[in-house]
Chains A and B, each alone.
Chain A
Amino acid sequence: MPRVVPARSTQALRALRISLACVVCFVFLIPVLWMALTAFKPREAIVAVPPQIVFRPSLEGFVSLFTQRSTLTRMQMERYRQRTDLHWWDRIALERGLVIIGPSQYVGRLTNSLIIAGGSTALAVGLGVLSAYAFSRFRIKGEADLLFFILSTRMLPPVVVTIPIFLMYRRLNLFDTHLGMILLYTVFNLSLSVWLLKGFIDEIPREYEEAALVDGYTRFQAFRRIVLPQAVTGIATTVVFCLIFAWNEYAFALMLTSDRARTAPPSIPSVVGTAGREWAATAAGSLLFLIPVVIVAFALRRYLLRGITFGAIRR
């Protein structure tokens, strides 16, 4: 929105505004940058006083994150040092007097996160598209009430519904299973998915489908060939929101999984070493965990705004 006021004072004001925006942006990113730095710090640098910004990067955090280690006695260490078949990660552990005895659980937890977030997003968006299409195109009795009911399911604090779901899951053998978590996140994302997609599908003119129906397409063919391709941006937006939710969810995962299906968020806090918290490992775990979100969000940043406002604001 260019305002036609080319006075000198507004020029200065504009420069001030831009630099202030840059400063604010930097301040907001400090914690994220600090996390990235910490992930590459050797242990001494993390607890250094005052905090160190320049240090020799180390992959110790990542090694601690991905492996289980055990302490060596002095004699064992001497013998271990002689060996020539050591990898660089073995050497990093050896510097701490530790030996790597196997992979950690983090890889498994990350895989669980991927399966559960991916599965639930696919289901939530798939079911969401169908429902949104129906809500958008057919006359449904009590449509407004139904839509409000769907949205209201998201208002509940997770802790409120977890107790009965916990009991239900134990009875149905869904406790600590991938399927159970996928279904649960699907339900929680459905409300968002239906609302978002309805907004997008409402915008696609009905005439296109009507023309297709006249040409002899069935309802479903018209939906698949005409509506779906046009709703792609809406679907992409919905996918991002559902993914972010399922990927970051903590409360349900904490209470409804124990080992087999546990996702990364409830297990990052438990990346604790023998000598107090291993901050580098925690930071490395958190960093790896947030990279996918940042990439997905960045790739689809143009749609974020419309998503959050349920398409209520047209630009």
Chain B
Amino acid sequence: MIMPTLLLLIAFNIFPLLYSLYLSFTTYSAIANQAPVWVGLQNYRDILTSDQLWIYFRNTGRFVLLSVSLQTVIGFGLALLLRERFRGSGLITTLILIPMMLSPVVVGLFWKLMYDPNYGIFNYLLGYPPGRGPQWLASSELALWAVVIVDVWMWSPFVMLLCLAGLGAIPEELYEAAEIDRASTLYQFWRITLPQVAPLLLIAILFRTIEAFKTFDLVMGLTGGGPGDATELVAVNLYRIAFSGQWNTGRASALAYIVLMIIIGISNIYIRYLNRLREG
């Protein structure tokens, strides 16, 4: 009964992985009618010594750090807010979940309209007169922040959902005991709430970090990597090298492998930390 599943996964994962590992050591273009030419580590050397790529990695790093940390804080805050049930809290929770169910490219496209410095509603709501507010998508310093804001809007609900699950599982006795000991609310938060939610919070952070590292569609809808290369994230650049225009399949495969290694590395560190936390 497991065979069909495994066969499909092998055909679509193991084969592509091995094949792109091979391609990463070659010069090859998917649209040219020529066989791959073995060049050894050349692609990797080119990538790791290219200044451009370091910029894209730095963009990605900044994006991941900013957006995951903001999502964590906001998502956790939302969970604390919606923790105690009241009339309509279920409805509010569900409504807040809508952003994460939307298609990122559609979301990106739509926020583009909201960010417009003249007729967009975003600056207007922030209180700027039309045309005088910040040019979110045209300024190289703000564009990355613009992407971060949208990503935070989309994915804080996800963190919230996991935190709510964690909060719901805390035994009430812990608080009752603390109440008897006259522990302050702050103390209760640091010593009971946070440690108890921590495992799920870390899972949320892990998921979000991996996903944020892969961010592609949101940027394509919002900025397309611009202005200049202010929001050119690694996944976006990978697409550009592999498909649009360049068709440099060998080099793209090498970059893809580097990205893969980084993701595996991050996941491993997290999972190890998570296990320690569980045991300790």
Contacts and interface: CB of A to CB of B under 8 A. Distances in A.
A25 B111 CA distance: 18
Interface string A285-313: 01001100110011001001100110001
A162 interface: yes
Most A C-beta atoms less than 10 A away, residue of B92, B157, B200? B92
Given A159-B238, A163-B252, A305-B164, A294 B101 contact: yes
A204 interface: no
Interface string B93-107: 011111101111111
Interface stretch (B50-58, B61-69, B137-145, B166-174): B166-174
Interface string B172-211: 1001000000000000000000000000100000000010
A150 B217 contact: no
Contact of A24 (B4, B78, B257, B259): B78
Interface stretch (A70-78, A226-234, A248-256): A248-256
Contact of B101 (A35, A133, A149, A293): A293
B20 to A, nearest CB: 5
Contacts of A22: 92
Contact of B92 (A3, A25, A133, A183): A25
Interface string A4-33: 000000000010011011101100111110
B216 interface: yes
Contacts of A186: 8
B40 interface: no
Q: In this complex, which of A34, A135, A289 has the most chain B Cβ atoms within 10 angstroms of its Cβ?
A: A34
Contacts of A269: 105, 109, 220-221
A30 B98 CA distance: 11
A308 B158 contact: yes
B155 to A, nearest CB: 12
Given A49-B130, A289-B103, A305-B161, A251 B94 contact: no
Given A34-B114, A247-B103, A130 B5 contact: yes
B13 interface: yes
A186 to B, nearest CB: 7
Nearest to B22: A164
A136 B249 CA distance: 41
Contacts of A183: 8, 12
A273 interface: no
Interface stretch (A60-68, A96-104, A165-173, A208-216): A165-173
B92 A250 contact: no
A135 B2 CA distance: 8
Nearest to A5: B179
B118 A28 contact: no
B110 A308 contact: no
Given A127-B8, A131-B1, A165-B12, A283 B235 contact: no
A119 interface: no
Contact of B9 (A149, A286, A309): A149
A40 interface: no
B84 to A, nearest CB: 7
Contacts of A251: 216-217, 239
Nearest to A297: B101
Given A130-B5, A184-B12, A159 B239 contact: yes
B213 interface: yes
B27 interface: no
Contact of B8 (A3, A30, A49, A190): A190
Judged by DSSP, the binding face of A is helix
Contacts of A51: 119-121, 124
Given A14-B86, A130-B1, A251-B217, A164 B15 contact: yes
A255 B247 CA distance: 12
Given A24-B81, A155-B267, A168 B86 contact: no
Q: Is the interface on chain A under 10, 10 to 19, 20 to 34, or 35 or more residues?
A: 35 or more
B12 A35 contact: no
Contact of B30 (A127, A163, A244, A294): A163
Nearest to B95: A25
A21 B79 CA distance: 10
B161 A286 contact: no
Nearest to B216: A251
Contacts of B19: 164, 167-168
Contacts of A158: 214, 216
30 contacts: A1-B84, A17-B86, A24-B78, A24-B81, A28-B98, A28-B99, A31-B111, A49-B130, A50-B119, A155-B263, A156-B260, A157-B259, A159-B216, A159-B256, A161-B16, A161-B20, A162-B242, A163-B256, A164-B23, A166-B30, A255-B239, A265-B105, A265-B217, A268-B109, A282-B109, A286-B109, A289-B103, A294-B98, A305-B161, A309-B165
Given A1-B85, A164-B16, 10 more contacts: A22-B92, A153-B12, A157-B263, A183-B8, A187-B13, A244-B101, A250-B220, A283-B113, A289-B106, A301-B94
Shortest Cβ-Cβ A-B pairs, 9 listed = A164-B16, A248-B103, A157-B214, A160-B256, A250-B217, A134-B1, A164-B19, A187-B12, A49-B130
Interface of B: 1-2, 4-6, 8-9, 11-13, 15-17, 19-20, 23, 30, 78, 81-82, 84-86, 89-90, 92, 94-99, 101-107, 109-111, 113-114, 118-121, 124-125, 129-131, 153, 157-158, 161-162, 164-166, 168-169, 172, 175, 200, 210, 213-214, 216-217, 220-221, 235, 238-239, 242-243, 249, 252-253, 256-257, 259-260, 263-264, 267
